[in-house]
Amino acid sequence: MKEIKLLRLFHSINLAHRALFRAADHALKTRYGITAAQHGVLLFLEKNRGVSSIELAEAVGLKRAATSGLVDRMEAKGLIERRPSETDKRSLALSLTEKGQTILMETKPMLKQANAGLLAGFSDEEQNMIARALKTVEAKANTDTLFDEAQSNHIQSETVHTQGM
């Protein structure tokens, strides 16, 4: 694959991510008064009741300080609540409130429709290929060495070009 295509892949994924979150933020703010990030927290807490803010931060990929502010805002909106942890009384456990659960149930059909719209026009085989490709990109991006490998490959490429001159 040519280097220009590799650079475009990174850029294209970034543009797609930003466009999706912009659209999701707009729809969720307009209809439910929440952001896409807050919705992500609701989805995570639905499956992981009673986690700590630290566990939430790790799961959603935010720094602890950013997660703290996000949790504060969501608690103020009545979407989530903090209670003493059942396993560690020094820690607070996060869970959905009834309002948070209601919003989550109301937004699921919207997300299902959005996903269907994104995949419209792709065959089942193409949809499976897209899913595999995105999972592979995510797995590679989650390694600590992705950019180390990129730097190493760049240095090797420069060495090859220099030796060939």
Residue 111 belongs to a domain = no
Number of domains in the chain: 2
Q: Are residues 130 and 97 in the same domain?
A: no
Domain limits for position 68: 3-103
Residue 49 belongs to a domain = yes
Q: Are residues 60 and 127 in the same domain?
A: no
Residue 18 belongs to a domain = yes
pTM greater than 0.85: no
- CA separation for the pair 25, 2 (Å, rounded): 35
Q: Are residues 18 and 46 in the same domain?
A: yes
Residue 76 belongs to a domain = yes
Could you tell me which residues come within 8 angstroms of residue 52 by beta carbon, excluding any fewer than 6 positions away? Answer: 85, 88, 91, 92, 93, 94
The residue from 71, 103, 135 where one domain ends is 103
- CA separation for the pair 37, 21 (Å, rounded): 9
Per-residue pLDDT of the chain (165 residues; tens, 9 = 90+): 555 566 688 888 999 999 999 999 999 999 999 999 999 999 999 999 999 999 999 998 888 889 999 999 999 999 999 998 888 778 889 999 999 999 999 999 999 999 999 999 999 999 999 999 999 998 988 887 777 765 555 544 444 444 444
